[in-house]
Structure 1
Amino acid sequence: MVDLDGSIALVTGASSGIGTACARSFARAGARLVLLARSGDRLRELQAELADDSGGACYVLPCDVRDRAAVTAAVASLPPSWSDIDVLVNNAGLSRGFDRFPDCSIEDWEEMIDTNLKGLLYVTRALVPGMVARDRGHIINIGSIAGHQTYPRGNVYCATKAAVRALSEGLKLDLLGTAVRVSSVDPGLVETNFSNVRFHGDRVQAAKTYAGMTPLTPEDIAEVVAFCASRPPHVNISEVLVIPTDQSSSTLVHRRLPDERA
Structure 2
Amino acid sequence: MSKKLIALSVLVMFVLAIGLAGCGQSAKPAEPAKPKVLKVGSDTAFAPFEFQDEKTKEYVGFDMDLIKAIGKQMGMEVQVQSMNFDGLIPALEAGNIDAGISAMTITDERAKKVNFSKPYYRSGLSMVVRADNNTLKTFKDLEGKRIAVQIGTTGADEAKKIKDATIREFNTAPEAFMELKAGGVDAVVNDLPVNEYYIAQAGGKDAKTVGEPLTSEDYGIATSKKNTELADKINKALDELKKNGEYEKIYVKWFGKKPPQ
TM-score (norm 2): 0.29
Higher relative contact order (CA 8 A, sep 6+): 2
Structure with greater proportional strand content: 2
Structure with greater proportional helix content: 1
Compare CA radii of gyration and give the structure with the larger one: 2
TM-score (norm 1): 0.29
